[in-house]
């Protein structure tokens, strides 16, 4: 299965606390601005990897390979390639438009899958709110891989880690009942061809689910953010 592609999430309003936290992190981030190394400016924003959470928008030179930390001052970073003129005139975007973003290189995807294999099972055992973990592009920074964690939207934990195993995390809030019903219907339609992962079969990045050894038709295609 191909990794889930990144696309923008619906906008969610920030709480007053989140808004203030984002402003504080943005103030700290201003110390990183240095056009000579490709960091053109910063601004306050909202994460798409974790809807409802504040973030620091970091504008980087579109012609340079710039390394930006995944968090600054406890807030996620949104990395947006642009140019100095757009930043100076205020015309640079505050979120990523990633429909034309390049795919992750195979080496980065393989490394992300290795992290998923290391952490997924324990994460799901320790967090009953999680019902699937996959690999794909970060929306906040499409040049990086992320662990995509599918979370029961009725039981969202108060604390969700911003990174796991050195990878950004991207959360998809969904109805567990919807997934269960979809799986049941698909299973009845395709009951003659339910697949099981063969021993030694390589991990392709598809989400581990509550039935980790069974192919789940509802997760065959990448799930977008709600």
- Residue-wise pLDDT tens digits, 138-166: 999 999 999 999 999 888 888 899 999 99
pLDDT in tens, 92-144: 998 886 677 778 899 999 999 999 999 999 998 999 899 889 999 999 999 99
Distance CA 201, CA 61 (A): 41
Q: 167-174 and 145-152: which strand pairing?
A: parallel
Task: Name the band, by pLDDT with cuts 50, 70 and 90, for residue 29.
Answer: very high
Distance CA 29, CA 23 (A): 10
Distance CA 224, CA 172 (A): 7
Distance CA 11, CA 217 (A): 28
Ranking 1-15, 21-35, 75-89 by mean pLDDT, the lowest is 1-15
Distance CA 185, CA 129 (A): 23
Higher pLDDT, 73 or 14: 73
């Amino acid at each position: 299965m191909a990794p889930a592609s990144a696309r923008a999430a619906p906008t969610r309003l920030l709480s007053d606390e989140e808004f203030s936290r984002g402003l504080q992190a943005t103030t700290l981030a201003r110390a990183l601005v240095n056009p000579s190394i490709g960091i053109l400016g910063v601004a306050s924003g909202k994460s798409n990897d974790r809807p409802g959470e504040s973030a620091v928008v970091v504008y980087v030179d579109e012609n340079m390979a710039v390394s930006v930390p995944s968090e600054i001052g406890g807030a996620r970073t949104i990395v947006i390639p642009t140019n100095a003129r757009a930043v100076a005139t205020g015309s640079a975007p505050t979120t990523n438009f990633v429909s034309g973003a390049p795919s992750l290189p195979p080496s980065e995807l393989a490394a992300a899958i290795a992290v998923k294999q290391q952490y997924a099972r324990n994460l799901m055992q320790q967090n009953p709110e999680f019902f699937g973990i996959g690999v794909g592009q970060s929306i906040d920074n499409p040049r990086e891989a992320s662990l995509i964690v599918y979370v029961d939207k009725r039981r969202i934990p108060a604390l969700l880690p911003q990174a796991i195993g050195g990878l950004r995390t991207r959360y998809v809030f969904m109805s567990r009942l919807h997934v269960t019903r979809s799986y049941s219907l698909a299973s009845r339609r395709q009951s003659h061809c339910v697949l099981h992962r063969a021993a030694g079969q390589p991990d392709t990045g598809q989400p581990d689910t509550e039935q980790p050894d069974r192919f789940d038709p509802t997760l065959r295609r990448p799930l977008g953010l709600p």
